[in-house]
Structure 1
Amino acid sequence: MIVDDFIEEKPYTDENEVNCWHYSHAKGTVLKGINILSSMIRYDDFSVPIGYEVIKKEIT
């Protein structure tokens, strides 16, 4: 099973509970965008996506 999170950068979109600031370990900085968690099962050369979830933050 493979689990991965990534940030779809949206620097020009208004900030809300989905499009907000997240730390990117790949770039070593904070980015504005949508944080997505995805998972899949892999058997040899065959991959099957299981699902994904958009990470939401509460805006205070």
Structure 2
Amino acid sequence: MTANIPWSERRTSSFSDGANTCVEVAHGPSVVGVWDTKHRESGPIVVPRARWAAFVARLKD
């Protein structure tokens, strides 16, 4: 599932303080990968795009 995520195109949170205490996100065709930059060795959490969109919408509410 993680093979179709363009890892090199991941984006850092706009709330990042530049000290590796942020979240990075990469969008693939059907899934999204999310990293905690303090624990990169754990790898990304991968979720379906629809679930990620619902999560982000809920945060904005």
With normalisation by structure 1, the TM-score equals 0.31
Bigger fraction of residues in helix: 2
TM-score (norm 2): 0.30
Higher Cα radius of gyration: 1
